[in-house]
Structure 1
């Protein structure tokens, strides 16, 4: 059975969707960006349905200022109260004794930051957001990966000779690579590294390894700042460029990985 639940958060009213199931371990889904709780391509709603059919209750919600919830949208970095209120409501509505939380993109980063006050028991973080945008180009790690891939492809050299490559875009990318600087102290990657390094709960990181956001995270994750995090988290990669796990095979993989953590 699927039902809607209204609940309070910092003087506002949030709306969530509960997919009921008898299990004592539940899944809390946190949406990324400005997506409503249904998710891109209905991905979160479909995941919730499949997990509930497998025996685990699932709760997903719109944070303040998104979808059916009141208040101002202040972004993922101001969602601590929303996550805590959703987790408390989930427990009260179902009696679950353990909550695993799943988030994609900046929702993954928000969960890394704010899971402890919400008493969340385990994290599944997909394509965590570590990008601090400076222009309209992809992150440096993604540009580097794309260029390396294309340099290995004879067809790309032929396109360049025939004028099929956007030279202005190519030069912009090369300039960004030449200007790239180490991540600043106290920046988003450093904050995420610190949060994951200090967490006391199990963490699984899921990456669609062809996605720009995942590429940027993988580049940061390989660095020294994430040394402590790497001893605590397990990382699983999918050969896909879909940030939202849009294809059916991607959805099947995501379901399998999330269910395994439940």
Structure 2
């Protein structure tokens, strides 16, 4: 296994990429979420790539246009179709033995892969904590209020915890504030336009796909509520999509147990491709 760094063409700009070579015929394309560089949160994606490549699978990561060492304007995830296609094409060129590409993305990268992966020739998908919250500016997503569905899920977890009853009786939890929060969370909201667009994209995927959720993460809670809504009933019945959860609040799968779980799921997907 060797790691090399490249600048590849994407329309009139260049993408900074990192390629971990391998001998297997199936490769992994890692698409960064948010405005993360290809190393990911605190180098997590670089470590993940090395771990996957040690099993013989080539792995390509890249910085989206306008991010990290890539040139051009950051078009956010809705404008990332060209980057995904350019990265997949380069991966096949550099590793000519590759016949299948499995793509992994977390958060808005997962949503982007569902939307644009088929046109890029992606053969399989591992989508973690897909982004479904509509915002006027994705760059401010971290400041966005969670959906009512996500708040309901969080309150339900608290209510199921026996410690909550003890804290209520002892006065550590303000009952009126808890009741107010529950009333706010009980508001029914429609699925966002983005979630409906994601549903339609997922329904068009003609390849097996995995959805992975860190179930105590706010983004994952919002997606899960959307997934369980009537709008997604037909999709839930599909045999082509599997959904698995990890009891974790780590959005980026940063702790060791979450890292191991994610790596295991990716290696399994690559071996089964």
The corresponding residue for 1:198 is 204
Cα distance, 1:165–1:73 mapped onto 2, change above 3 Å:
farther
Tell me the secondary structure at the aligned position of residue 3 of structure 1.
Answer: strand
Indicate conservation of the 8 Å contact 1:194/1:226, yes or no.
Answer: no
Tell me the secondary structure at the aligned position of residue 119 of structure 2.
Answer: coil
The count of aligned residue pairs is 260
* C-alpha distance in 2 between matches for 1:63 and 1:169: 43
* C-alpha distance in 2 between matches for 1:70 and 1:161: 58
* C-alpha distance in 1 between matches for 2:135 and 2:147: 8
- The runs of 5 or more residues in structure 1 that have no matched partner are none
Q: What is the CA deviation profile of residues 103-146 of structure 1, one whole-angstrom value per residue up to 9, with x for unaligned ones?
A: 00110000000001100000000111111249843221221112
Of 208, 213, 217 in structure 2, the residue corresponding to residue 211 of structure 1 is: 217
Matched, 1:253 2:255: no
Indicate conservation of the 8 Å contact 2:148/2:187, yes or no.
Answer: no
Q: What is the CA deviation profile of residues 18-49 of structure 1, one whole-angstrom value per residue up to 9, with x for unaligned ones?
A: 00111111000000001101111322111100
* C-alpha distance in 2 between matches for 1:50 and 1:19: 10
Tell me the secondary structure at the aligned position of residue 6 of structure 1.
Answer: strand
Of 167, 188, 191 in structure 2, the residue corresponding to residue 183 of structure 1 is: 191
The corresponding residue for 1:86 is 87
Indicate conservation of the 8 Å contact 2:37/2:67, yes or no.
Answer: yes
TM-score (norm 1): 0.92
CA RMSD of aligned residues (A): 2.1
Of 99, 121, 124 in structure 2, the residue corresponding to residue 122 of structure 1 is: 124
Indicate conservation of the 8 Å contact 2:20/2:58, yes or no.
Answer: yes
Instruction: Give the C-alpha shift of residue 222 in structure 1.
Output: 1.6
The corresponding residue for 2:140 is none
Instruction: Give the C-alpha shift of residue 183 in structure 1.
Output: 1.9
Tell me the secondary structure at the aligned position of residue 27 of structure 2.
Answer: strand
Of 95, 99, 102 in structure 2, the residue corresponding to residue 100 of structure 1 is: 102
TM-score (norm 2): 0.88
Q: What is the CA deviation profile of residues 172-215 of structure 1, one whole-angstrom value per residue up to 9, with x for unaligned ones?
A: 7445424432225xx01100110001111221111111111111
Cα distance, 1:52–1:190 mapped onto 2, change above 3 Å:
same
